[in-house]
Amino acid sequence: MTSSRPPTLGFIGGTGPEGAGLALRYASAGHRVLIGSRSSERATATAEGINQRLGQDLALPRDNAAAALESQVVLLAVPYVAQQETLPALAEKIGAKVVVSVVVPLAFQSGRPHPLAVPGGSAAQEAQALLPGARLVAAFHHLGAKHLTDLAHPLEGDVLVCGDDAEAKAVIMALVEELRDLRAVDAGGLDYAQPVEAMTAVLLSINRRYKAQSGLKITGLPSAGLPVRQAGSGHRPSAGSGHRPAGAGG
């Protein structure tokens, strides 16, 4: 069954630059967004800032548990170092929901970004282990927070989407393509999340060197039928839909 109403999105760690930026973009696209945080003051300030910018009340402050429970799709935007502490307490509330991890394991040495070695393979794979019932997808790693918060700036580029659940991946790929000028690219199973996460350090290094805000674009892909939207069709899979885009799979 497909719903025409945009799903409610819950942001775990929604007051950080990436989480708040994505929440702003999706609120501007008509989604109700729940700003989860351990601090009610930060959650309230972030939600009020989004609502003031948009002129409507689409962002609501929540603690992380309430954001996980009340949302239809959950976005993980906590710092990697906080993931092990934060997620186990949310497992029951998240259950079998679609969850997308935007977490990137990074460290900075003398201002230079370096990917961290992750015992579980990737932050997304570790999140899946901590949320065993969830339908985990990894995406949105290469969108800069600066551009996310500038609504006048187009979000050009590709979003690599990794996951083992084809239906969950289809939901997130459709969500990606709600944001104008972004294209979702099926990058394979969740085991591919490690190089996708690590690529963020390379882009940050390029940004630092060129004083730019670089993104990612995959060339050589067919222009039609990739990955979700078909020409002339406005169909969008819902969080409970079995629709899948061409190429979506493990």
User: How high is the pLDDT of residue 247?
Assistant: 40
Q: What is the pLDDT of residues 16-72, one digit of tens each?
A: 999 999 999 999 999 999 999 999 999 999 999 999 999 999 999 999 999 999 999
pTM given for the model: 0.88
User: How high is the pLDDT of residue 225?
Assistant: 42
User: How high is the pLDDT of residue 243?
Assistant: 39
Q: What is the mean pLDDT of residues 159-183?
A: 97
Q: What is the pLDDT of residues 151-167, one digit of tens each?
A: 999 998 999 999 999 99
Confirm if 33 and 59 have CB atoms less than 8 A apart: yes
Confirm if 142 and 133 have CB atoms less than 8 A apart: no
Candidate from 3-12, 83-92, 180-189, 240-249 with smallest mean pLDDT: 240-249
Token pair belonging to 120: 């579980």
225: alpha, beta or left? (left if phi > 0; alpha if psi -120 to 50)? left
Where in the chain are the domains?
9-210
Q: Looking at domain 9-210, which CATH architecture does it have?
A: 3-Layer(aba) Sandwich (3.40)
